[in-house]
Structure 1
């Protein structure tokens, strides 16, 4: 999976860390690109959940109950005494089993794009809408998964 976050507030200027967060609450960072965007490649296993009749995403990155799995993009001040940590929920529930099979068969990734800022220019938080067509099966030649802590 690849999450592309468009234009989040720069963590360096705000003395913070920003990245995809695993279940241990460790944040894996990547630098912003020249456009001010950032992407995170992660690996998650998928199994069909018979009782829920939907994909179940497993591994260090997916959070939440089977029917509401999501990924976190987290913003955390570097100062341990500072407040202001925030998280974006990137929902996985719109991913179909057909998309998973297609991505696997074609050796592609599921890609989603989100805005990194809210309507007032601050860091987006809580459940954020997926842009464009949501999760899309996409060829990615430079897939570079982040290793969990």
Structure 2
């Protein structure tokens, strides 16, 4: 699976605060990209299994209970080794069209989500991210 973020917010306050965005794996935020960049890409390994009529996803990147699984993009200020999180974007697997998700796990391509990381106010995108803000495709 691949998540491609573009349009990283570029405000001076975020730069002065040494703000980064990263993908949350368990409780750790990894693959952190500073707001001085213009784009961010994360490659994730997600597993799937049949659970009745559903395709249930899992792995260290996946959060939430069966039927409500999601990924977190986390925003925070960096100071040395410390990452002080102040916001997260939630990418729900339930927003991915079922046939697309099944095709990805059948090996027909890499499931790719593309989203802008700047919200309507010019700040970091947080909260639930739904189509059309995020688009899903096979690559």
- The reply to whether TM is greater than 0.5 is yes
CA contact (8 A) 2:114 2:134 kept: no
Instruction: Describe the SS at the equivalent of 2:94.
Output: coil
Q: Residues 3, 83 of structure 1: CA spacing in aligned structure 2 closer, same or farther, 3 A cutoff?
A: closer
Q: Name the structure 2 match of 1:44.
A: 46
The answer on 1:22 being equivalent to 2:25 is yes
The answer on 1:7 being equivalent to 2:10 is no
Structure 1 residue 41: Cα displacement: 0.9
Query: Using the alignment, how far apart are the partners of 2:134 and 2:86 within structure 1?
Result: 29
Query: Using the alignment, how far apart are the partners of 2:107 and 2:65 within structure 1?
Result: 28
Q: Considering only aligned residues, what root-mean-square deviation do their CA atoms show, in Å? A: 3.0
Structure 1: gaps of 5 or more residues: 139-149
Q: Residues 91, 104 of structure 1: CA spacing in aligned structure 2 closer, same or farther, 3 A cutoff?
A: closer
Instruction: Describe the SS at the equivalent of 1:85.
Output: strand
| Correspondences of 1:44-123 after superposition (within 5 Å) | 44-50=46-52, 53-79=53-79, 85-96=86-97, 98-106=99-107, 108-123=109-124
Query: Using the alignment, how far apart are the partners of 2:134 and 2:39 within structure 1?
Result: 19
Structure 1 residue 13: Cα displacement: 4.8
CA contact (8 A) 2:23 2:42 kept: yes
Structure 2: gaps of 5 or more residues: none
CA contact (8 A) 1:2 1:42 kept: yes
Instruction: Describe the SS at the equivalent of 2:121.
Output: coil
